[in-house]
Each structure stands twice: as structure tokens, then as C-alpha cells.
Amino acid sequence: MNKFYKVCIGVILVLVIIYLSSLVDFIFKPILALFSLLIIVPVLLSGFLYYLLRPIVNYLEKRKLNRSLAILLLYVVITMILTGFILGVWPSLSTQVEALERNAPHLFNALANQLAKLEEYPFLANLFPEDKNTLTQITEYLNKGFVFLSNYITSLFSFFSNFAIILFTFPIFLYYMLKEGGKFGQKIVSFMPKRFREEGTETMKDIDKALSNFIVGKVLVNLALGVLMYIGFTIIGLPYALLLTVIAVIMNFIPFVGAILSSIPIVIIGLVESPSVAIWSLVVILVAQQIQDNLVAPYIFGKQLDIHPLTTIILVFAGGDLFGIVGILVVIPVYMVIKIVVTRVYFRFFKDRWEEA
């Protein structure tokens, strides 16, 4: 009983500390924001690029090139690629962004006109309620969407202003990850008791392999999706094809939900052009997604991503609710790591006992 009371008192004290901390959260918020900007975001970005670039560094090292020199050579190549992107792709992309922002009021009016024409069809007219002004509601929604988009762009510029700080920190993290990355798992295992180190080593290998396959595979799948969508949008004559494709590729990094969200602006822009372009843009999206899901993704991932779609949706919403956009992006890798660890622990400590019970 004495031990029970001590545990209860400890739990109560922890809860009291958490409560008192919440009353003075204005002290901790700037510290957490600075810690996130200087540590968390650069580490996550470095980890993402680490798994993308590690195979190249390992290949160069096998070709008898010093690992440090291989990393520096890779930095030079990446700088050249970014320079080519800025000089070759960015002008066209920025032109489309400026044109879309400049033509936003016209696009809203054109969309309202297209919807008004669609209401003239008897079949579609039955879908709209008779006691409400549908065009007024749509205009209100579009205005709210435009305000949200403006706020989002403002926050995006704020992010890029802070990105200058990240730009100077994450290459340092990435360099040491690429140089010493193979030793991280060994250092973690070294803290385990000796009788568990072999199991721990195997677990770290499984985690490393799962993360590597997921990140590299996700990038390859999204690039394939982007190529397919851009070709399709160019064929059907969809305005702002490059910009919408880039948005779709970026949004597709959000599991399941991102594909749906990225389809909305594409269909809207297509509807502004004409109903037929909207239908064909939707066809392009569906065909590209089917090719991605049934041909490209199974070939790249195999059976490694054995996650039920319902589980994916729950994880995405939970991650977004708890940690925002960062939570949405990292929730699936974190789930994969936890699943591997829990599975190993179950087979090591509980499986035989529960089957014999």
C-alpha cells in the first residue's frame, strides 16, 4: 500500500506541474517555437533527405571515393540542380502563380456563371435546394476560400522567411547524418542490456529499412504521379497545368486525404474553363491515381506498406489534430516504427506466454 500511495502522489504531482505550466504557457511557447525552428524542423528535413541521398553516398563510397568527399560532391550536384530549377522551371511556375492570383476575381465570376448554366439542366437542377439561393451560397464559400488562401499565402511567406534559418542549419545536420548515419542504431542498441542487443540490432535494421523504403518509394511514386498528371493536363488544355501538378504532388505526400484535397482546385479550374475540361481533368486524376495505386506503388512498395486505409485516415486526422501539418507528414512513419517495435516486443516477451495460457 505504501508503494501504491507513493505512485499516486507522484502522478498527482506530475499533473499539478502540468496544470501550473499551462497557466504560464506564454513563457514556454517562444522557447518551443525556437526549438522547433532550430532543431525539430531541420532534423525532420535532414532525416527525409538522408534516406533519399544515402544510397547515392553509399554507391560513391563503394566506388572508392571518400565518404566526406562524396557528400560534398552531392551537395554541389544538388546546388546545380536547384540552380537549374530556379532558372528553368521557377519563372514559369511563378508566372502561373501571379496569373492565378491576378485572375482570382475573374475566376470566381466565371465559376459562378458556369454553375448558373449547370442549374439550367433539369437533372442537375434537382440537386440544388429550391428554397435557397445556391449562387449566393457558393459565392460566400468562394469568398471564404479566397480569404483562407490569402492567409495561407501570407503564412507561407512567413515560413520562407524563417526557412532562411533552417537553410543554414539543416545542411549541417544532414552532413553528419550521411557521414555517421550507420552508427545511430548501434549507439541506441548499446544502451540495451547485452542479452537484448542482438534483438535490438535486428529491430533497428527493420526500422531503418522500413523508413528508407517508405520515403524513397513515396518520392518516386509522387514523381511518377506528377509526370502522368502533367502530361494529361497538357493534353486536355487545363490552365495552370504546371502549378496544379506541383500542388497535387506536394499534397499527395499527405496519405489518402491529400489526393482528395488536391483534386478540388484542379476540378474548379477545369470547370471555369468549361464543364468538359472539368470532366476530363477528373478523368486524368482518376487514371493517374489508378496507375499509381495499381501499377507504380505495388512495384515500388511491394507488401511493405500493409496499412489499412481506415487506419491511415484515423492516423492522418489524429496527427493533424495533435501536431498540425508536421503531425500529418510524420504520423505514418512514426506508426511504422511503433508497429515494428511492438511486434518485436510481442514475439520476444508475450507470444509464448499467451499461447500457453
Read out DSSP for 25-61?
A: HHHHHHHHHHHIIIIIHHHHHHHHHHHHHHHHHHHHH
Predicted confidence at residue 144, as pLDDT, reads: 61
C-alpha cell at 306: 500493409
DSSP state of 332: H
Other Cβ atoms less than 10 A from the Cβ of 310: the count is: 9
Unique residue bearing C-alpha cell 495561407: 152
Q: Which one-letter amino acid corresponds to residue 289?
A: Q
Q: What is the pLDDT along the chain (357 residues), one digit of tens a residue?
A: 577 788 888 888 888 888 777 777 666 666 666 566 567 777 888 888 898 888 898 888 888 888 889 999 999 998 898 888 888 877 887 787 777 777 767 776 777 777 666 666 655 555 555 555 555 566 566 556 555 555 555 555 555 555 666 677 788 888 888 888 677 777 888 888 888 888 888 888 888 888 888 888 888 888 888 999 999 999 998 888 888 888 888 888 877 777 887 888 888 888 888 888 888 999 999 998 888 877 777 776 655 566 777 777 788 888 877 777 777 778 888 888 888 888 888 777 776 666 665
pLDDT at 235: 92
Residue type at position 242? L
Q: What pLDDT was estimated at residue 5?
A: 80
**306: three-class secondary structure by DSSP:** coil
In this predicted structure, what is the pLDDT of residue 30?
64
State residue 231's pLDDT score: 93
- Cα distance from N-terminal residue to C-terminal residue, the chain: 29
Q: What distance in Å separates the CA atoms of residue 78 and residue 214, rounded to the nearest whole number?
A: 22
Cell numbers found for residue 155? 503564412
User: And the C-alpha cell for 126?
Assistant: 434537382
Nearest of 357, 241, 259, 266 to residue 312 by alpha carbon: 259
pLDDT at 151: 54
In this structure, what is the dihedral angle of CA atoms 105, 106, 108, 109, given to the nearest 10 degrees? 120
Buried b (16+ CB within 10 A) or exposed e, 119-132: eeeeeeeeeeeeee
Would residue 302 be called left, alpha or beta, if left means φ above 0 and alpha means ψ between -120 and 50 degrees? left
CA distance 50 to 54: 6
Q: At what angle do helices 104-118 and 90-102 cross, to 10 degrees?
A: 60
The pairs formed by 177-186 with CB atoms below 8 angstroms and a separation of 24 or more are 177/46, 177/47, 177/50, 178/50, 178/53, 178/54, 178/57, 178/67, 178/71, 178/74, 179/67, 179/68, 179/71, 181/50, 181/54
Overall pTM surpassing 0.75 (yes/no): no
Asked whether the beta carbons of 347 and 335 are under 8 A apart, the reply is no
User: Within the chain, what is the greatest distance between any pair of CA atoms?
Assistant: 78
Q: Which residue has the cell 492570383?
A: 101
Q: How far apart are CA 283 and CA 275, in angstroms?
A: 12
